[in-house]
Structure 1
Amino acid sequence: MEPILAAIVGREHEQEVLSAFVAASEGRSLVLRGDTGVGKSALLDHVADLAAHEKHRVIRAAGVEAESELPFAGLHQFLYPLLSYIDRLDDTHRGVFDVVFGRSEGTPPSVMTLGIAVLDLLSLAASQKPLLLVLDDGQWLDASSIEVCGFVGRRLTGSSVKLAVGLRSDLASGFDTAALPHLPVTTLSEKASEQLLDMHHPGLDPRIRRLVLDEAQGNPLALLELPPYVRGNRSARGSGESFGYNGVALPLRLQHVYGARIEGLGEAVRAELLRGALDGVAAGTTAGAVRGARYRMKDADEAAACGLLDIDPLNGDFVFRHPLVRSTAVQIATPNERRAAHASLARVHRDDVERRAYHLGASTVDPDDEVAAALEAAAESATRRGGAQTAVAWLTRAAELSESHEERSRRLGDAAFIAGHAGRLDQAQQLIGADSTAGRTDSPASVVASAYVALYEDGDVRSSQHQVLAAIESLRDGGGPNEVLTRLVNLLLAINQYAGDATSWERAHGLIDSLGDLVSPHSRIYQDAWGDVVRRGAGVHERVERAFADLGALDPWDISRLSVAAYHVDTLSQYRPHLQRIVDRELETGALVSGMTMLHLIMLDQIAVGEWDEADRTGRRGLELMTSHQHTLFAHHSKAYLGLLAAMRGEVERARELQASVDAWARPRGIGFLTQIADAIGTAAALSEGDYEAAYLHAIGITPPSAFEPYAHQASRTLLDLVEAALHTGRSEQARGHALAAQQAGLPEISPRLALVTYGALAMTATDPAEADRCYDRVENHPAGTRFPFELARIRLAHGIRLRHTQGRKAARPPLTLAAEAFERLGATTWTERARAELRTTGTPAQASTAHLAALTWQERRIADLAAGGLTNKEIGQRMHLSPRTVSSHLYRVFPKLGISSRAALRDALGKLRDEQSV
């Protein structure tokens, strides 16, 4: 029958050692050494259970600190259950025990004399069944008992007696020199820690779970006991004294582990430990995640000697032995001691904006405008580093310390604004509610928070638009530029972008224009790019580029909004590296809403440049994130883009499911931006299926032919769709009119993609062969052509079909081959089939395009072409926004696909393949 043992997590090696220990045929000793709470007692229980299952007699003892000065107190625990065997010993050994146990007077025996007597007693007791002695907390055993146990433990070979001892590694003990075999019991791995925590505390809030894991650092006792105290600590904290790091609330059992030793230190050393703990020495979880060089503790050898500190081997600095030491140092300090330590640290970090302000805020009790201003500056710095959540805490504290009602109100409004961008809409509302000086709930600052909630959670563009317009009107005559006014203007522009309503846009333009210089230059960019790029987009890409020149001064929401403007004029690719560098940071602790917008933008650029698999992954990641945070508007926005991508790939069923979901949610709410994308999904899906009549009807639902509906975001984006659908349904006049309308509207000057598709539309609809050739040449030679592979492939397909009819099959093969391969690389299955069918009509077998080139991804093909042209890895990386190392990795995969082994052979290999295609 197997032993019934409690589950022990992450101790496979230790369990193997203990199993071998019990199974050994002769006596032996083993010392388990580790920190407090690391699980030594659980392992001793495990070995006792194993031994009991193997028919051993088990005798247990435990060191007790209060008895550590009583001679033989520990040995008595072991021997008392064996008293019945003492009478069977010879007179000499029996006399030794009588003296030790006080049953007779006499000279105390030597260690050797007593040890030999104990060995005889144990051998006698083990003569009938094996014996296991288990000693826990051996460090508290009295010195006399330790000496005897060490003597006996070294001489168990040949007997049926085993000895297992548990010791704390941070306290000295006589067992340290006993020369007994030992088994180190270390902390649990990260994986095992997570498993243990989830087993005993399932369903923890992710932030609390992470905090417990960081604080416990693999200590099982901490993992088991911290969660309820951390939850209580977080929910009970308010402001004032709770600002700054107050330590993780520890149960008494954990607090006692290090508390007594800290309290036993001298006053100066305790103060030094407190300063180190409050400044985050030795990593861990400092509130506010302040940055910069941490405090260096000095003259703390006393703390190191008693096991509270270690020495960093790299720089020789004192570091805390465990995060629990730091929490204990803070928790047992008085509020006045903590404030004094923070004040001292503020002086130490006088040149660090964030760290100084953090400590000033924690050291100050009464209102102080200088401290409040320092916290406000620190919050601005933190926001730009991706610490929006930290900035909210610092601005809230700044408001508490403000001397005037006006400054308190302004700072609470700033905190609410950042909380809204951080995805904490409830907190934003609470902060506005805390502003009792406003006297009403419809102050301009409160409108920012409430309108964000209405827009992003509910998609309520109508009521949020009404609120914001009224708030802007109330501030119009309020003096100079105003931060709240700027936020309201930007929010109004975002609302109108989603509404997509011409009347609302015209009203907004009139109001914003009436504000004159009160409107920031960035807001003017958003105004021109987001509403009607056909009529207002000229020159926007240069303005965006100038704004990005000072990237370090931009807040995350500025970066995301400027990137949205870049998307509207199709220059997003050059800014995508910025988004990719910061998106994870913003999603973790920063401006969550901006991070979500960045995910949308990254997906859109991945679609544009042909990275469709990556785009699908980005879209799914964004959808999951937005759904989990209840950002319903953004979730449907992601569904719309995923549907559009599915339609382009020929995944028509999935595309239409997503289209229906988006349309059903967005249309009743009047969110024209999303309903237009839903119509674009229908257009793209119909084109993928070759249902040109349906495609045409969807396309003219966005904008009529020969015109670009004002404020219709998708009107210019579906230019090629409408023209192609019209041509295939015999509406050549409407197709030509639409292409000419694009040219007359100046679309080629607005964006590189619009230039490409405008020239393509003009070429496809031209009745003059010479004009068609000129326009197709402009497409082929356009510097941005390869940045938009799907549009380029569609134009090449149309060009190939035209050449087959006008110049013969051979002339048609090159553009048709390039189109087919591009569609195949993209994964546009129905478009690939169409291009292959056209190739077959030219007499080219279906698989005549080279297998090697077909095996290359779009990115690999582009890199190969650039490398064949003589560009270095660094130059290629700059063009494609990749690191030189990534370029090198791609080339390493390209060479075997092309059957070559060096860069020098690239040009010939690619040239040979293109020649084969043109035959």
Structure 2
Amino acid sequence: MVGRNGEQTRLADFVRAPDGQALVLRGEAGVGKSTLLDLTARLAAEDGHLVVRATGVEAETGLPYAGLHQLLYPLLPDDGPGQSGRQLNAAARAAFDAVFGEMTGPPPPVMTLGIAVLNLLSWTASQRPLLLVLDDGQWLDDASADVCGFVGRRLAGSPGVKLLVAVRDDIASRFDTTALPEAAVGTLAEADAARLLDRNHPELDRQVRGLVLDQARGNPLALLELPAHITAHLASRPGDRAPQDLLGPHGVPLPRRIQAIYAARLARLDDSVRAELLAGALDGATARPGDGPAPTTRYRMRDVDEAVACGLLVVEPTTGDLAFRHPLVRSSIVQLATTDQRRAAHRVLAQVHREHPERLATHLAAATVDPDERVAAVLEAAARSATRRGGARIAVDWLTRAAELSENRADRARRLGDAAYVAGQADRLGQARSLAAAATAPGSDENPAAVLANAYLALYQNGDVRATHRQVVSAVERLRDSGPAPGDPVLDRLVSLLLAVSQYAGSRTAWQRTHEVLTSLGDLGTERAWLYGSTWSDVVRHGAGWSEPVERAAAGLEAQDPWDVTRLAVSAYHLDVLSPLRPYLERVVDRELDTGAMSSGIVMLHLIMLDQMAIGQWEAAERTGHRTLALATERGHALFAHQTRAYLAQLAAVRGRAEEARDLQATVDAWARPRGLGFLTQIADAVGATAALSAGDYETAFLYAIGITAPGAFRPYAYQASRTLLDLVEAALHTGRAEQARAHALAARDTGLPDLSPRLALVTYGALALTADDEDEAADLFARAQSHPAADRFPFELARIRLAHGIRLRRVRGGAAARAVLTRAAETLDRLGATAWAERAHAELRAAGVTPHPQAPAPAADPLTWQERRVAELAAGGLTNKEIGEQMRLSPRTVSAHLYRAFPKLGITTRAALRDALTRLGRHSAAP
């Protein structure tokens, strides 16, 4: 504790504080974080706290909730989480049962689990104050770190509970973005370093002392470990009085040099002792559990007194438990072991964890050499479980290993194909292609897995729908003719891909060919395939009757793979029943983006944005859009990037930002039209219509609208045809084309649009009212539209209909009759930020005799935080996210998050516009 007076004072105050709180200690390896944790644990124990300790384990970073298991297991009763007593309600018990594997099914969302953890911690603290100590937090699995972040931010409401975490500052971790209070643990000042060295090694001569101080650079662990190593070297080489290069040049990281010291000690141990240490290191036997009971499933090292004697292990005085002296000891043990030694340790650990499928899979995968169908089946089952728990990336590794251990060629090819598919969904497109190639036997037709991998690559990165459609049709027909079993997963995947390609193509020819293929499958075609094929293609002609199956399937989202969830949600969007699915999407999207199916995660963000737009949460929708655009651009997904730009253009158009909308529209159209991406070119045309309406250019709006569909008809397989119903009718009326407007409204009614979705019912009744000649009929239809049970779910469409109703009332019955309707329309349009429509509403109110209230001064633009401004300045200077992160000691993901929050505040959509935006902001800030 030399030179740590400030840290000791802060940690003592941390322990004694009556309120709950969390603190993250951050510093380099060996700087003394673990020692400070020991001090805090001792102070807390002396103060009457129950102390629970856990350590992140590098080998378990891919195992969801492995770290949380360490932290919580000591707090649960001996009879297990399923019988966790009266202190936990049923929801909390179910959450822990799911996390600890006491029941099948997916884990709960972070919020549900976090609340359950808070309840458990609060109950424990009501009996005795509680300190949770987590060392090596950078190795904690993502799921556990997310829960710790959630809990740590809310401990102020749980008196008596403290959370103390230590992380290395040279390794990115989830704790970089948890927003928990932090304390930096730096190296020792020169005088303190000399004092620590002299206290522990007073016998050093002047030359060695100077060399140690120079090499250690204030790192306490180095100050303690280097003297013995240098002295031993000099004793073995008496003539060497200049060992400055003993540990390599200053450019070699200090942790690596200290590891070399530990490796030298390990090499002198007996083989049996090293085997025990290796098993303990691979299983995380590094936590000193304080005075709480330790998990019974961790490996217990035996007969390792020799390792204690040479300073590699320590004995916890209160419990007698063995722990590694420092995390670098554990790393040295693993690196020094041979491949055969590691395999032997993993075999031992597989027996220890035989009741825990995912840990069992991890150790069996590392322990097995020769093909073994039993092990391959265990890995395959673990991969299925991981995929549904947001672990698609580790699922790829397990499936690949399962393929390597398969005993016959067919199972090997099948598992490689599964790995290729999951890799593609997890945004490992290059790996997907390699796995698919490995699954193809020499001289055979192209493997379906290869078709899937190559097609996804061509679709996401290049937007190639023409060649991809032909390729996938051919693969489906070949597989169909080979006689697959009903429910064959490869066939289902190919069909789903074919439907996705057809949707992006948005052409009648592509969809007709796709429906022919679906029909030819007969009993091999699933209900899901027909659901997607009907709702994605042409909801006007094929969407009837599918709302109930969507709602039925949505009741079991937790049991579905992420890509199946997104496909179902796309159908829900086309049927305008997406909102009930959105809470689930919001719960899992971050998980999928970080460790799961990246492509599904981006589609989830698209769907969240579309629902935010539909229900009037436009500020949130813009933030979601910029986040999605940054992700898609960073990952090289040109298709998703331009799709996001199209949605941002729609949002800009309805908000009256016509210039921004047209710029984005032009970018999307120029990329999508040559590629035949009708899905995007239709959105571009819809943006043109809405932007023109917003600007009052009704002729241009009409020309864009009829480019999507002719008045009085809904062009087959043009999904924007029904969505632009109100735009076409309004543009036609304002340009003197009343007959065409009426024909289009009647076509909507006669085609049955009101029965397809609640939004289509609303806009159809509104269009009929707008075009009705008879005033009583118009009044009845306006009332029918505004009283629709789902009308409030679509505030922009409802406000436009109310505005049209108010205009008609004012002209026919006078201003007094129109004021209430116009007022409601204006209020909604103001709230939404639909500036052009709001201005018209206020103009109509003035014409109706309503005196406008004095306008309050517009609020100033939301200023950037200091960190957002600094990130934006560096990005404007041309630095990449990685380079910015290195300068500001942030992870690239955190840099990206700051940028997507800054973009909408600056009113821009690209990095290229940053410099000008910051210049404008500077002038605004300098104005008096």
**1:324: which partner in 2?**
328
**2:61: which partner in 1?**
none
**2:291: which partner in 1?**
none
Q: Which whole-Å CA distance do the structure 2 matches of 1:223 and 1:796 have between them?
A: 73
What is the CA distance between 1:767 and its match in structure 2? 1.8
Contact residue 440 and residue 447 of structure 2 kept, 8 A: no
Point out where structure 2 has 5 or more consecutive residues left out of the alignment: 8-26, 34-190, 210-216, 229-246, 288-294, 861-928
**1:732: which partner in 2?**
738
Distance 1:338 1:166, change over 3 A: closer
Question: Does 1:343 pair with 2:347?
Answer: yes
2:838 to 820, 826, 832: 832
Residues 588-599 of structure 1 mapped to structure 2, 5 A cutoff: 588-599=594-605
What is the CA distance between 1:520 and its match in structure 2? 2.5
Paired AA for residue 31 in structure 2? V
What is the CA distance between 1:132 and its match in structure 2? 13
Q: Which whole-Å CA distance do the structure 2 matches of 1:788 and 1:546 have between them?
A: 23
**1:480: which partner in 2?**
485
Q: Which whole-Å CA distance do the structure 2 matches of 1:273 and 1:327 have between them?
A: 11
Q: Which whole-Å CA distance do the structure 2 matches of 1:423 and 1:334 have between them?
A: 33
What is the CA distance between 1:655 and its match in structure 2? 0.5
Residues 128-139 of structure 1 mapped to structure 2, 5 A cutoff: 137-138=197-198
**1:382: which partner in 2?**
386
Contact residue 439 and residue 449 of structure 2 kept, 8 A: no
Distance 1:144 1:760, change over 3 A: closer
Residues 692-771 of structure 1 mapped to structure 2, 5 A cutoff: 692-771=698-777
**2:262: which partner in 1?**
258
Paired AA for residue 714 in structure 1? Q
**2:469: which partner in 1?**
465
What is the CA distance between 1:678 and its match in structure 2? 0.3
1:687 to 693, 706, 716: 693
Paired AA for residue 479 in structure 1? P
Question: Does 1:652 pair with 2:655?
Answer: no
Residues 181-260 of structure 1 mapped to structure 2, 5 A cutoff: 225=252, 251=256, 253-260=257-264
Residues 410-421 of structure 1 mapped to structure 2, 5 A cutoff: 410-421=414-425
Q: Which has the higher contact order (CA 8 A, sep 6+)?
A: 2
Post-superposition CA distance 1:297-322 (Å, at most 9, x none): 35588456765457899999655454
**2:502: which partner in 1?**
496
Post-superposition CA distance 1:254-306 (Å, at most 9, x none): 322432444556655543432232234559xxxxxxxx996243558845676
**1:641: which partner in 2?**
647
1:38 to 18, 31, 36: 31
Contact residue 395 and residue 415 of structure 1 kept, 8 A: yes
Contact residue 537 and residue 750 of structure 1 kept, 8 A: yes
Question: Does 1:675 pair with 2:681?
Answer: yes
Give secondary structure in 2 for the equivalent of 1:442. coil
Distance 1:457 1:132, change over 3 A: closer
**2:611: which partner in 1?**
605
Give secondary structure in 1 for the equivalent of 2:722. coil
What is the CA distance between 1:846 and its match in structure 2? 2.4
What is the CA distance between 1:830 and its match in structure 2? 1.0
Q: Which whole-Å CA distance do the structure 1 matches of 2:226 and 2:541 have between them?
A: 84
Contact residue 649 and residue 830 of structure 1 kept, 8 A: yes
Distance 1:574 1:173, change over 3 A: closer
Give secondary structure in 2 for the equivalent of 1:575. helix
What is the CA distance between 1:134 and its match in structure 2? 5.2
Give secondary structure in 1 for the equivalent of 2:583. helix
Paired AA for residue 382 in structure 2? A
**1:847: which partner in 2?**
853
Paired AA for residue 717 in structure 1? R
**2:412: which partner in 1?**
408
Contact residue 35 and residue 168 of structure 1 kept, 8 A: no
Post-superposition CA distance 1:61-93 (Å, at most 9, x none): xxxxxxxxxxxxxxxxxxxxxxxxxxxxxxxxx
Point out where structure 1 has 5 or more consecutive residues left out of the alignment: 1-9, 15-33, 41-130, 150-163, 176-219, 228-249, 284-291, 856-919
Question: Does 1:799 pair with 2:802?
Answer: no
Question: Does 1:353 pair with 2:360?
Answer: no
**2:214: which partner in 1?**
none
**1:896: which partner in 2?**
none
**2:433: which partner in 1?**
429
Contact residue 526 and residue 565 of structure 1 kept, 8 A: yes
Contact residue 689 and residue 830 of structure 1 kept, 8 A: yes
What is the CA distance between 1:782 and its match in structure 2? 1.6
Distance 1:166 1:770, change over 3 A: closer
Post-superposition CA distance 1:407-456 (Å, at most 9, x none): 11111111111111111111111112223525347222211111111111
Q: Which whole-Å CA distance do the structure 2 matches of 1:630 and 1:133 have between them?
A: 49
Paired AA for residue 412 in structure 2? R
Q: Which whole-Å CA distance do the structure 2 matches of 1:709 and 1:814 have between them?
A: 38
Q: Which whole-Å CA distance do the structure 2 matches of 1:132 and 1:339 have between them?
A: 44
**2:791: which partner in 1?**
785
What is the CA distance between 1:166 and its match in structure 2? 8.6
**1:297: which partner in 2?**
300
Post-superposition CA distance 1:334-383 (Å, at most 9, x none): 22221111111111211222211111111101111111111111111111
What is the CA distance between 1:522 and its match in structure 2? 1.9
Post-superposition CA distance 1:7-37 (Å, at most 9, x none): xxx99989xxxxxxxxxxxxxxxxxxx9985
Higher CA-based Rg? 1
Distance 1:453 1:780, change over 3 A: same
Give secondary structure in 1 for the equivalent of 2:721. coil
Give secondary structure in 2 for the equivalent of 1:271. helix
Distance 1:375 1:726, change over 3 A: same
Contact residue 676 and residue 712 of structure 1 kept, 8 A: yes
Paired AA for residue 560 in structure 1? T
**1:84: which partner in 2?**
none
Contact residue 285 and residue 298 of structure 2 kept, 8 A: yes
Q: Which whole-Å CA distance do the structure 2 matches of 1:852 and 1:337 have between them?
A: 73
Distance 1:173 1:703, change over 3 A: closer
TM-score w.r.t. the length of structure 2 is 0.65
Distance 1:498 1:320, change over 3 A: farther
Q: Which whole-Å CA distance do the structure 1 matches of 2:225 and 2:439 have between them?
A: 57
Question: Does 1:538 pair with 2:544?
Answer: yes
**2:577: which partner in 1?**
571
What is the CA distance between 1:670 and its match in structure 2? 0.5
Contact residue 676 and residue 714 of structure 1 kept, 8 A: yes
Question: Does 1:811 pair with 2:817?
Answer: yes
What is the CA distance between 1:783 and its match in structure 2? 1.9
Give secondary structure in 1 for the equivalent of 2:712. coil
Paired AA for residue 485 in structure 2? G
Q: Which whole-Å CA distance do the structure 1 matches of 2:692 and 2:490 have between them?
A: 46
What is the CA distance between 1:592 and its match in structure 2? 0.7
Q: Which whole-Å CA distance do the structure 1 matches of 2:583 and 2:609 have between them?
A: 13
TM-score w.r.t. the length of structure 1 is 0.65
Contact residue 760 and residue 776 of structure 1 kept, 8 A: yes
Distance 1:635 1:221, change over 3 A: farther
Superposed CA RMSD in Å reads: 3.7
Question: Does 1:366 pair with 2:370?
Answer: yes
Contact residue 796 and residue 815 of structure 1 kept, 8 A: yes
Q: Which whole-Å CA distance do the structure 2 matches of 1:706 and 1:314 have between them?
A: 84
Distance 1:308 1:843, change over 3 A: farther
